[in-house]
A and B are shown apart, each in its own frame.
Chain A
Amino acid sequence: MNTLQLPILIIIAFLFGALLIPLLGYFARRLGYITALIATALSLFFSISGLMHVLSEGRISYHLAGWMPPFGIELILDPLSAFMCVLITGITFVVLIFSGRMVEHETPDKTISYYTLTMLLLAGLCGMVLTGDLFNLYVFLEIAALAGYALVAIGDKRAPVAAFRYLTLGTVGAAFYLLGVAFIFISTGSLNMGDVFKVLPLLEDSRAVIVGLTLIVLGIGLKMALFPMHAWMPDAYAYASSAATALLAPIGTKVAAYVLFRVMFYMVDPDFLRHDLHIAQIVGYLGAIGVLWGSILAICQKELKLMLAYSSVAQVGYIAVGIGLASPLGFIGAILHALNHACMKACLFFVSGSLRFKVGHSSITDMNNSLRKTMPWTSAAFVLAAISMIGLPPTAGFFSKWYLALGAIEQSNWIFLGVLLVSTLLNAAYFFKVIERMYLKPQPRVAAPSEEPSEDPVQELTDTTHVNRNEAPASILLPTLTLSLSLLVLGLANAWIVTHLILPMIPDWL
């Protein structure tokens, strides 16, 4: 295999999947599922071999259709983009295994559209990660976004409304981005990021450049659900089907965050951003507010999926704080948190999906301690993921906070440090609220009237105190457990990840 073709192969696998699924699915619905799995597995394989190649031999630059950059479109596989591709495709693979039963259960008539849209979404997201061209990024962004809107719309009754809101705001974000790119193009005459990077230092006083960069950051910030532009996210995640949420929540916002990384640290001189434009700081402080705001709103939620969605607003804030620090430690913390949060959130949304699958709802107020009897493994997975979200060692979540906290201390930024630490407590507040109900809240006692015979249905309800095990099926449970255990592994292996994967991607000038 020609390793130089890897960047395009990652995207093409998904695109072919998207084409094949409706065709094959016409004959048998099952085939659509299998095709999606194969396409993702292939892409995962390409991503991993790409990552290994990049780490040993350096970046790969792929010229689409042989046109030389900066005129042609360039796909770049460097440590950062390869890492993100592995993350996206890896998580997607696990989510797809989980989706098998879930989609059949929740939206049985829309399985084919679910898998097709998934493939399109992934093609778009991987394209956004790989491309080195600003306009091409917009194209992929729209592919991913349109697929995302449609995925959200496959959900319960309120999903179309949430999807429409997502669409409106998402389009505004994309438009901002496009406008920003136009300004940059007018000023620099190039759309290639590497090229722009070389030209920009000469144009730093230009108003057009400043406006362009601001617009780009605004647009991407909206896509990333950066406070205060997060309004579309909670509803979209809460009312989409469980499988769609499990797919969108872990990776959707991460890719937008990645674009912000690309633009801020690889396209613009970070010193310029830091000292003259202060965009990095603004992003950081918005993230910090988002961390607190998202956590506080998450405490108020009564529905598990909504709570998790608001918690995502907070978690994206961590990544923004890492960007705001604009230092190696902040970079490490942000990237590590993107990885950790993807695993944690996927795991938690798996749990909420499993609950809907078996119990029929995921409302926090209706939970009680029968769950620890009926679904002991799912509950245990939730506890482990929650501990990681709170950020207690030795789980993965602790370490991303650790690097961010070290970064904040290094710059004597006590506000960021305070926010990081306070948010730990806020996270604990909403996760322990759920854990307490899952494990401790007594089941409602339905008093059986004494004169009723024991065969009465009411009596059966009382008997649920001795509920039998009713665990989610293996294809749902195993991905959940795998991800929750991976949190321990990621936590213990974080030093390896940082030194071998993240340190090589930090640009020299940072």
Chain B
Amino acid sequence: MNEIVTYTSPIPLLAVLVSLAAVPLIYASSNRPNLREFWTLAAAFIKFPLVLSLLPDAFAGRVAEWTMLEISPGIALQFRADSMGLFFALVASGLWILTCFYSIGYVRGANEKKQTRYFASFAVCLSATIGIAFSANLLTFLIFYEILSIATYPLVIHKEDREAMRSGRQYLTYALTAGVVLIAAIGLTYHLAGTMDFKAGGLLAGLDLDANTAKVLFMLFLAGVGVKAGIMPLQSWLPAAMVAPTPVSALLHAVAVVKSGVFGVIRVVGFVFGPELMHTAGLHLILATFAGVTILLASLIALKQDDLKARLAYSTVGHLSYIILGVALITPEGFTGGLLHLSNHATTKIALFFCAGAIYVNLHKTKISQLDGIGRVMPWTMAAFTVGAMGLSGIPPINAFVSKWFLCRGALQADQMIILGIFIVSGLLNAAYFFPIVHRAFFRKGGSDLDHHGEASPLMVVPICIVAALSILLGLQPNLLFNFFDLASGITESIFYPASTLVGLGGTP
């Protein structure tokens, strides 16, 4: 990576707007489902290449930037496709394409109502997610963060029954409270630093903050972004939000929304506070404590869930904290591991959720205890499930193994044996809560109700197989697609050695 140069390009803005532009079209064609779904797909197929087209420049150290307008005197609504944002945007927009196909199969198979609202809200969510990824400063980040909170609400209450409304209320309470706390945190940052631009290495870095102010500010930020990231004790909205249709749980509550929270944590750690301040003020210990406790508790709670989606949800809570714990190590290896886990957990967990949805649509089963013998009926689906389960338990050659490997190395690098222990124990717990499902599916005999049932519709099975295959391929060759690995280590490099961005970067640190 050479010296980082910014250049003006509307592509980041277009990438944000393209799915927003699809919303009126989706509403206009609400009576013609095929045309409506075409708009969704079109938006997805335009969005991803747009994001992708920024990638070569990012590797060449050129960062696309677009200033839309001044949103508050001195602060612009600004998009910047730096490598960190690009990394997240690639994951979210790439998986959206697959989720689109899967969604179509799912909502038609399950005969969901209000499909127009569903697809429209989904598109808004994606716009907001990409907006979060490309935000160049805290205020832009906040704006899209709040839009995401609101746009997810219609999806959570999709079923419109009592339970959905209760979950919706809970979700809103958590999300809006978080937004409010974030306003305070951002205002305080602006007051202290006089700027809001994200800066690799920390915008507060040179300010000489005293430790207590830094701690208060960090806790505010943590409460603000931690809700979406599911850090305990702020996680309880996430299992409740599983009343949403499964594609929503898959893309939003395993990738886009929750990872926006994690992405927020990374931005806060790497781009607002910076590694040095994290260390000197002891903030990394706070973060590590929360994340470590979350990992263990969430894995333990997941063990005793009988509802498949609830178990996946608690597993998500745990894995989000893997990423955060990796970041909290404040070592290059740990940071790289956290970033890699962001994308790797995305492909594996989305595979698992897709499987849960396929099982629901096809067999109307939601409980784990009902899954005996379904491996015979839905071999492809359950094979993909096994791949995802293996990955999250940390078994090579699935991609999540690679990130766990780096996380463990990061813990060693930081000389944190407790954290290393947490990673290893929770790996075992992962295996303990995933493999009984695999065992039931393949090694137990199913009831007679499984006769005359085959695989779910190809619109669902094909995306499932693709994400599973992706998980394996990225495990074998992390750089296979879009040089994810180099991208991640490049980001780490830029945060830990801000000066060395001038020096060439050769592979792993």
Please list the residues of chain A having a beta carbon within 8 angstroms of any beta carbon in chain B. Answer: 387, 390, 392-394, 398-399, 401-403, 405-406, 409-410, 417, 421-422, 424-425, 428, 432, 436, 440, 442, 492, 494-496, 498-499, 503
> Inside 8 A of B146's CB, which chain A residues have their CB?
392-393, 398
Is the CB–CB distance between A405 and B160 below 8 Å?
Answer: no
Is the CB–CB distance between B183 and A421 below 8 Å?
Answer: yes
> Inside 8 A of A406's CB, which chain B residues have their CB?
187, 190-191
Is the CB–CB distance between B72 and A399 below 8 Å?
Answer: yes
> Inside 8 A of B142's CB, which chain A residues have their CB?
393
| B176 sits at the interface (CB 8 A) | yes
Is the CB–CB distance between A402 and B187 below 8 Å?
Answer: yes
A399 to B187, CA, bound (A): 12
Is the CB–CB distance between A409 and B72 below 8 Å?
Answer: no
Question: Can you list 10 A-B contacts with CB-CB less than 8 angstroms, sorted by A residue number?
Answer: A393-B146, A393-B147, A394-B143, A394-B147, A399-B72, A421-B180, A424-B180, A424-B183, A425-B173, A495-B73
| B505 sits at the interface (CB 8 A) | no
Closest to B192 in A: A409
Q: Which residues 138-195 of B have a CB within 8 angstroms of A?
A: 142-143, 146-147, 149-150, 157, 160, 165, 168-169, 172-173, 176-177, 179-181, 183-184, 187-188, 190-191
How far is the CB of A244 from the nearest CB of chain B, in Å?
33
Among A387, A393, A402, A422, max chain B CB count under 10 A is at: A393
The count of A-to-B residue pairs whose CB atoms sit within 8 angstroms is 79
A398 to B72, CA, bound (A): 11
A365 to B206, CA, bound (A): 55
Closest to A410 in B: B191
Is the CB–CB distance between A492 and B69 below 8 Å?
Answer: yes
| B210 sits at the interface (CB 8 A) | no
Is the CB–CB distance between A436 and B165 below 8 Å?
Answer: yes
How far is the CB of B259 from the nearest CB of chain A, in Å?
21
> Inside 8 A of B190's CB, which chain A residues have their CB?
406, 409
> Inside 8 A of B150's CB, which chain A residues have their CB?
387, 392
- Given A409-B187, A421-B184, A425-B177: A492 in contact with B71 (beta carbons within 8 A): yes
Closest to A502 in B: B73
A410 to B191, CA, bound (A): 7
Report whether over half of chain B's contact residues are helix, strand or loop; otherwise say mixed. helix
> Inside 8 A of A394's CB, which chain B residues have their CB?
71, 77, 143, 147
A483 to B149, CA, bound (A): 24
> Inside 8 A of A393's CB, which chain B residues have their CB?
142-143, 146-147
| B208 sits at the interface (CB 8 A) | no
Interface size class of B (residues with CB under 8 A): 20 to 34
Is the CB–CB distance between A428 and B176 below 8 Å?
Answer: yes
How far is the CB of B410 from the nearest CB of chain A, in Å?
35
> Inside 8 A of B72's CB, which chain A residues have their CB?
399, 402-403, 494-495, 498
Closest to A429 in B: B173
| B449 sits at the interface (CB 8 A) | no
* The 7 A-B residue pairs with the shortest CB-CB distance in the complex, in nearest-first order: A393-B143, A495-B70, A421-B180, A392-B146, A409-B191, A409-B187, A405-B187
Closest to A427 in B: B176
Closest to B180 in A: A421
Q: Which residues 100-144 of B have a CB within 8 angstroms of A?
A: 142-143
Partner of B183, one of A402, A492, A496, A498: A402
A503 to B73, CA, bound (A): 10
How far is the CB of A397 from the nearest CB of chain B, in Å?
12
- Given A394-B143, A440-B157: A494 in contact with B71 (beta carbons within 8 A): yes
Partner of B188, one of A401, A409, A494, A498: A409
Is the CB–CB distance between A496 and B70 below 8 Å?
Answer: yes
> Inside 8 A of A422's CB, which chain B residues have their CB?
180
> Inside 8 A of A442's CB, which chain B residues have their CB?
160
Closest to A387 in B: B150
A421 to B44, CA, bound (A): 36
> Inside 8 A of B168's CB, which chain A residues have their CB?
436
